[in-house]
Structure 1
Amino acid sequence: MKVAAIQMVSGISLDANLSEALRLLRQAAQCGAELAVLPEYFCFMGHQDTDKLLLAEQPGLGTVQDFLSDAARDLKLWVVGGTLPMATEDPQHAANASLSYDSKGKKVSRYDKIHLFRYDNGREAYDEAAVLKAGDTPTTFDMQDRSGQLWRVGQSVCYDLRFAELYRVLAADVLLVPAAFTYTTGQAHWEVLLRARAIENQAFVIASAQGGTHENGRRTWGHSMVIDPWGEVLALQSAGPGVVLADIDIERLHQVRQQLPALQHRQL
């Protein structure tokens, strides 16, 4: 199955971001991808964190959800909508939600980011909990590709990557990591963490990132990539918008798990 990790440099215009996302999704579909994963905050990166509250959508109702459903249906492509802000019962906090749609445009899952990023090195500071409400439910969905092969797909978002126990619970064939890693933390930890999650779970990883300098001045690390269950990077793009394509093979996954049955050897 051919998959695509979509890399973007999203800005402050919702319409411009959706237009760019559609361009990249079309490119992925034209190249034969069956599953495309957009990055975290693909639809909007505002001047300040509270800006996203203005765009928070109700379940089943909203411009971004309509966009994802229409794109998946029109392109006959499974689409994972990175993240978008979804309304909660508290108007001061939104959920950072990753929504998945099948190739007919039907929503098949919603995952709310569980681990909220906080970082302060004296020069740059972030605290997602100021405007986001954490999720509490590990989420997977089953995807049947065009050959009839069934894949178990596990969802995560950005900072979740640092919490290995989440991926053990997912027990998936394919792990998704839409992200907007900062340049500082990404340069230090992004690839090594992604490869570790692939190796220890003997699973494919599709990591779709924001990658560049944004209108709000934030700089993200990029380096969207697809990794195989042995930890090999199959495809990568360092910076700027683009489509990272790779073929993932269920037989390769079975081979790795059979030759080194580490998942069967777990004691804890």
Structure 2
Amino acid sequence: MAASSFTAALVQMRSGRKIEANIEAAAALIDEAAKAGAHYVQTPEMTSLIDRDRAAVMAAVQPEEDDVALTVLRDRAKRHKIWLHLGSLAIKVSDDRIANRAFVISPDGEIAARYDKIHMFDVDLPNGESWRESATYRPGEIAVTTDLPWGKLGLAICYDLRFPALHRALAEAGAEILTMPAAFTRQTGEAHWHVLLRARAIETGSFVLAAAQGGTHEDGRETFGHSLVVDPWGRVLAEGGSEPGLVMAEIDLSLVAQARAQIPVLENGRRFAVARGETPAYLKVAT
């Protein structure tokens, strides 16, 4: 295998209200991915807990140093000598706030990178569902990249997918792989999941790896699933369905350089101001 190539595995889950059961489910799929030869394994957003009951969530979550899922899954990374990307865990950061935090774990079990989800999903949906992530979660403020042996990884989570400026910034910072662990709702996923992931890949010339939650959860929410691997030309290389399981693909990062050479949007992009109703001075014709 070339130095720029590796095997990626996406863990698709249906996390519920019991942290221990979710850890067990994630660990079993991580074990399966490692056995199948994965070098990098990504789990979805909210790997260890999905529950719309805010009081129950606040009672269950712990600070990072006490988080059981992080401890157990760091050990899994070390045991299998893999790069393990925990799409996100709910981490208590104050008495009334949680961080939606991603962790990249190195093969020695150490935390190589952390990222707190920047964009909060606050919306009222036509089907009557209402989401207010900002009522519980503290948004992140800094975009994060980290180096893997094969290339640079850019971190994002779920709703971040809808903000292309974040992904361009990650690509401009050198990221060749954009990551999008998610718990997309079924309704929005059916409409937008594929097109947005493919768009982020195409507009940055990057691979996109997106492990997802899928199905009907204990708390009643429905998530879309369809974990995806997308190449820099926007082609879907691998896709999951709605059930828990693994999605695996070979990632050849030489395709990033090829795509960016053919359509050099990162080099050709320009900064510009916005004229508010007036003709810019340089366009005015002297009379």
C-alpha spacing 1:66/1:230, structure 2 compared with 1 (3 Å): same
Deviation of 1:47 (Å)? 4.7
- Paired residue secondary structure (2:34): helix
Structure 1: how far apart are the matches of 2:55 and 2:231? 37
Could you say which residue in structure 2 is the equivalent of 1:86? 91
Could you say which residue in structure 2 is the equivalent of 1:246? 249
Could you say which residue in structure 1 is the equivalent of 2:33? 28
Structure 1: how far apart are the matches of 2:165 and 2:61? 29
Structure 2: how far apart are the matches of 1:23 and 1:119? 34
- CA deviations on 1:224-250 (whole Å, 9 max, x unpaired) are 010000000000012110110001102
Structure 2: how far apart are the matches of 1:116 and 1:50? 19
Could you say which residue in structure 1 is the equivalent of 2:208? 205
Structure 2: how far apart are the matches of 1:50 and 1:197? 35
Structure 2: how far apart are the matches of 1:257 and 1:82? 27
Which one-letter code corresponds to 1:262 in the other structure?
Answer: V
Could you say which residue in structure 1 is the equivalent of 2:99? 95
Which one-letter code corresponds to 1:58 in the other structure?
Answer: P
- TM-score, normalising length from structure 1? 0.95
Could you say which residue in structure 2 is the equivalent of 1:115? 119
Structure 2: how far apart are the matches of 1:253 and 1:47? 39
Structure 1: how far apart are the matches of 2:140 and 2:56? 20
Which of residues 183, 196, 201 in structure 1 aligns to 2:199? 196
| Deviant stretches of 4+, over 6 Å | none
Structure 2: how far apart are the matches of 1:221 and 1:96? 19
Q: Aligned pair 1:217/2:220, yes or no?
A: yes
1:1-268 to structure 2, matched below 5 A, reads 1-89=6-94, 91-122=95-126, 123-144=128-149, 149=150, 151-171=151-171, 172-268=175-271
Structure 2: how far apart are the matches of 1:263 and 1:187? 29
Is the Cα contact below 8 Å between 1:38 and 1:208 reproduced in 2?
yes
Structure 2: how far apart are the matches of 1:45 and 1:239? 16
- CA deviations on 1:104-148 (whole Å, 9 max, x unpaired) are 11101110000000121241111101111111010111011xxxx
Is the Cα contact below 8 Å between 2:22 and 2:47 reproduced in 1?
yes
- Paired residue secondary structure (1:12): coil
Structure 2: how far apart are the matches of 1:59 and 1:21? 18
- CA deviations on 1:210-230 (whole Å, 9 max, x unpaired) are 010111111000110100000
Which one-letter code corresponds to 1:36 in the other structure?
Answer: V
Deviation of 1:264 (Å)? 1.3
- Paired residue secondary structure (2:208): strand
Is the Cα contact below 8 Å between 2:67 and 2:91 reproduced in 1?
no
Which one-letter code corresponds to 1:207 in the other structure?
Answer: A
- CA deviations on 1:184-229 (whole Å, 9 max, x unpaired) are 1111111110000000010000001001011111100011010000
RMSD, aligned α-carbons: 1.2
- TM-score, normalising length from structure 2? 0.88
Is the Cα contact below 8 Å between 1:37 and 1:81 reproduced in 2?
yes
- Paired residue secondary structure (2:215): coil
- Paired residue secondary structure (1:83): strand
Structure 2: how far apart are the matches of 1:18 and 1:59? 15
Could you say which residue in structure 1 is the equivalent of 2:280? none
Task: List gaps (5 residues or longer) in structure 1.
Answer: none
Aligned pairs, how many?
262
Structure 1: how far apart are the matches of 2:87 and 2:60? 15
